[in-house]
């Protein structure tokens, strides 16, 4: 039997709205979860603009996993494995709410440098710089197709307060790619 | 030319394209394959501008939320409108909820990117 007490403890302790942990991310699943997330946001005091940002970022990260699995040549049974965690955030006096959205999937080493390059660039930019780069990329038509976090990471970065990521090496030229976006009423400076 | 109507789904907007000169796109947009989904929309637009007598065109866009490939797609769609702006009277209404700053900003970005197009920011209350 699954340890439901332990599971519930983890979920309530960290104020997790939902966790998706599986080898089968699908579009239908993402759409259903987005509807659930809409309901959860309605109960928060987040406001419509930040709510739009939460939903956009959730969709962007989930579709990243979906599209990467489809496009990648990773030839093993773990290629579709992905995790998405949505967490409610509260300030100390509970008056300022927000969300954190986490994702994890397995990426090949040759893709790690491409992802790093974009995220390292984003880390050096302020909000105005991100918007500028986003519009440049969208205009150029390069790097914007469904297949990989091209425009997507800039879409996420311009809609949240902060992003964070890491790579954890696995065997055989692969790594876990872990990502976190924090969304509040504030945006990055 | 025929009217193109696509019903809304959980992740695609309701689309109505009337050859008399109105296009409306309303809802959420995050298809699994955005470019595939919007192919008939782009084809309809291209055919519209190939007619001998092209009527005035009004495009109403009201997107609740959308993914980055939809953002790119709408850029391409506005690009087609921009190319035909000299020969056709085109008006775009970017419709959003007053409280939704994110949607307003997305509209402002398109206005800056397409200086020659008439893009009106319209809050839902004003409609």
A134 occurs within a structural domain: yes
For residue A157, the chain B residue with the least C-alpha distance is B68
- Cα radius of gyration rounded to whole Å, chain B: 14
A5 occurs within a structural domain: no
B72 and A35: CB-CB below 8 Å?
no
Going A88 to A15 to A42 to A178, the CA torsion angle's sign is positive
A9 occurs within a structural domain: no
Instruction: Supply the pLDDT for residue A94.
Output: 65
Q: Which of A96-100, B43-47, B100-104 has the highest mean pLDDT?
A: B43-47
Q: Helix or strand or coil: residue A156?
A: helix
A142 occurs within a structural domain: yes
Label residue A119 exposed, middle or buried (CB < 10 Å: 0-12, 13-18, 19+): middle
Tokens of residue B71, six digits = 């953002």
CA angle B40, B122, A144 (to 5 degrees): 45
Strand order in the sheet with B22-29: B4-6, B14-18, B22-29, B57-66, B90-96, B118-123
Instruction: Supply the pLDDT for residue A78.
Output: 62
A157 pLDDT above the threshold of 90: yes
Residue from B34, B69, B99 to probe the interface with A (highest A Cβ count within 10 Å): B69
Chain segment B67-118, per-residue pLDDT in tens: 999 999 999 999 999 999 999 999 999 999 999 999 999 999 999 999 999 9
Q: Which residue has the tokens 């109960």?
A: A43
CATH 3.30.750 fits B4-126, yes or no: yes
Find the domain containing A44 and state its range.
14-183
Q: How many domains does chain A contain in total?
A: 1
B68 and A154: CB-CB below 8 Å?
yes
Cα–Cα distance measured from residue A157 to residue A28, given in angstroms and rounded to the nearest whole number: 25
* Cβ contacts of B30 on chain A, cutoff 8 Å: 30, 34, 59, 63
A59 and B67: CB-CB below 8 Å?
yes
Give all strands (DSSP E) within chain B, no chain letters.
Answer: 4-6, 14-18, 22-29, 57-66, 90-96, 118-123
Strands B57-66 and B22-29: parallel
Give me the percent of chain B exceeding a pLDDT of 90: 95
A4 occurs within a structural domain: no
The whole-angstrom distance between B75's CA and the closest CA on chain A is 7
A83 occurs within a structural domain: yes
Alpha helices (H) along B38-97? 39-49, 68-83
> What is the pLDDT confidence band of residue B127, given thresholds at 50, 70 and 90?
low
Chain segment A107-152, per-residue pLDDT in tens: 988 889 989 999 999 999 999 999 999 999 998 865 445 443 479 9
């Amino acid at each position: 039997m699954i340890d439901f007490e332990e599971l519930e403890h983890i979920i309530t302790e960290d104020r997790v709205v939902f966790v998706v942990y599986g080898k089968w991310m699908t579009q239908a699943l993402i759409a259903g979860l987005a509807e659930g997330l809409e309901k959860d946001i309605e109960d928060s005091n987040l406001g419509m603009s930040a709510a739009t940002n939460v939903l956009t970022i959730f969709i962007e990260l989930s579709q990243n996993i979906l599209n990467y699995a489809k496009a990648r040549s990773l030839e093993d049974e773990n290629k579709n494995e992905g995790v998405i965690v949505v967490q409610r955030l509260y300030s100390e006096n509970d008056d300022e709410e927000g969300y954190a959205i986490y994702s994890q999937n397995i990426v090949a080493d040759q893709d790690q440098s491409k992802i790093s390059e974009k995220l390292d660039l984003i880390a050096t930019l302020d909000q105005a710089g991100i918007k500028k780069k986003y519009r440049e990329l969208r205009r150029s038509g390069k790097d914007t197709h469904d297949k990989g976090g091209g425009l997507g990471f800039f879409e996420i970065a311009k809609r949240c307060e902060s992003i964070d990521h890491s790579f954890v090496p696995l065997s055989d030229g692969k790594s876990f790619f872990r990502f976190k976006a924090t969304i509040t009423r504030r945006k990055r400076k | 030319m025929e009217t193109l109507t696509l019903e809304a789904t959980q992740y695609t907007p309701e689309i109505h394209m009337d050859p008399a000169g109105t296009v409306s796109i309303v809802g959420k947009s995050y298809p699994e394959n955005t470019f595939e989904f919007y192919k008939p929309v782009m084809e309809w637009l291209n055919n519209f501008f190939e007619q001998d007598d092209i009527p005035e065109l009004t495009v109403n866009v009201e997107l609740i939320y959308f993914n980055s490939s939809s953002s790119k797609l709408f850029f391409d769609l506005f690009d087609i409108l921009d190319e035909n702006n000299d020969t056709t009277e085109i008006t775009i209404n970017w419709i959003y909820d007053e409280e939704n700053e994110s949607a307003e900003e997305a509209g402002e970005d398109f206005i800056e990117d397409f200086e020659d197009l008439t893009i009106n920011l319209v809050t839902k209350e004003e409609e």
